[in-house]
Copies of this chain bind each other. A is one copy, B any other.
């Protein structure tokens, strides 16, 4: 039947496209036109062929999927090529300026970035005006794209980055008499860019654009690659700044680092410079994080261009916090304890005495080991329940879920890399003492925990929700009822099933344990997010890795890995919430 529908569709398609044989664009009509043609097919068929119409309708869905895929065509490819070119050129420029600061200075790099930022802003404005004027531009919205946590995160990090840009402007204004004006221009442009982009992504993150798809795709990859180039530049710049510290004098790194902004010969003309510089030091990780968030959202939008989303009403799953108790309580306890030790750590570290630093590290390491061990244990319990649990795997394909899983696994790489590099450094130097032992255990347990958590979340997202299963069981019986002659028996059967379902309103033990595990993991991930996001950097306060890999290399690893780790924790919280609802 499907083939008939396809052939009919193909014929119709030829008929319609014959009108404009010279316009190649028309040969691959936009999806809206496709939908219109579908209606036409149904009008064309005579009433006597109503039975075929049913089959055609069935086929339509298939054909639509096909058209959607075929429609990717040129724009998809072109935007990919643009993205690759901008990224690699950016990479070459950034590494050029890192390895050869004579020929390519920060000014050259910043001019390149300014051009990229301006182009991206221009595109965003065009897009906004266009979608505002045309009604048909955005017919579909992907309800999964741009979830609340991502948008709120973007806003938060955007605000802090904006603050950083203000401070940077204030700092470099003090150097204007002896340094390039570009150094002031860049934060100005970036600040404007932050405002426009945050607004743009907040409003349009869910769009599935249907008109001018090629242009939109190219614009989105431009946004994506601009953010990634900004990210690369920020990571490199911070790693280089930090290398100006002599390797041996590790304990004094903070103080010396904060003073290292700006040229040494060129003196700042106002007194607040040092304060601003110190503020920038604390704010730069948020800027790195912001670029990653924006890149992720642009990528999701790019994937959604031209997609036809079924406007299915979201499964309204109610959130019953009363169902669970042990998990949240332990979780809240862990969060509070984590916050207390985190504040102690920050206070101790700021005193910058050897004795206090060690104490701070001791507290921080022990707290982290406790959290990570408990998380691993509870995840193992969760995984065992999955094994005992007979729920089916989800059958329908879901691009948003695949993307989510990809981002989750990709982001976990960051923490994986840091942990493995720590393990290698500690084991290879054979470092002794309780701090090294704790550091090693933390790293090993983190690797274990990441692996387990990834497994748990992905398995959880791919299971059929409980309530859907119950509905399906009822539905099957109802169907059997129509087709079978022994009706009474089946109806009875169905009734007993219904009673069974009702009685299971009170959660089964398995479901309850799963929910407890999810709730605990969710809270534990929150505290593991808070600690690095708000400034805990034991990686730089503990000397083993710095001595082993030299400062530049280690700073690069941490600056690349940690933002991904922070992103991972936030993403996990959102995913665990979803798993909680499904379970």
Contact = CB atoms under 8 A, between A and B. Distances in A.
Interface of A: 1-2, 4, 6-7, 10-11, 21, 24, 27-28, 58, 66, 69-70, 73-74, 77-78, 80-81, 84-85, 88-89, 91-93, 95-96, 99-100, 103-104, 108, 387-388, 390, 392-397, 409, 413, 416-417, 420-421, 423-425, 428-429, 447, 451, 454-455, 458-459, 462, 472, 475-476, 479-480, 548-550, 553
Copies in the complex: 2
Does more than half of chain A's interface fall in helix, strand or loop, or is it mixed?
helix
5 contacts: A4-B479, A27-B392, A69-B397, A73-B462, A99-B553
A91 B549 contact: no
Contacts of A6: 395
Given A7-B475, A85-B447, A78 B455 contact: yes
A454 B416 contact: no
Contacts of A96: 421, 424-425, 428, 548-549
A549 B447 CA distance: 35
A455 B81 contact: yes
Contact of A393 (B4, B70, B420, B425): B70
Given A413-B84, A428-B104, A447-B85, A458 B394 contact: no
B81 A423 contact: no
Given A69-B393, A73-B459, A100-B550, 18 more contacts: A24-B388, A27-B390, A28-B393, A66-B396, A70-B393, A70-B394, A73-B462, A84-B416, A85-B416, A85-B420, A85-B451, A88-B416, A92-B417, A96-B421, A99-B548, A99-B553, A100-B428, A104-B428
Contact of A81 (B397, B421, B451): B451
Nearest to A73: B393
Closest A-B pairs by Cβ, 10 of them = A70-B393, A103-B428, A66-B395, A92-B424, A92-B420, A7-B476, A88-B420, A92-B421, A104-B428, A96-B424
Contacts of A423: 89, 92
A28 B85 CA distance: 44
A572 B100 CA distance: 35
B459 A69 contact: no
A2 B55 CA distance: 11
Contacts of A429: 103
Nearest to A431: B103
Given A95-B549, A416-B88, A429-B103, A395 B70 contact: yes
A476 B24 CA distance: 23
A103 B388 CA distance: 46
A396 to B, nearest CB: 8
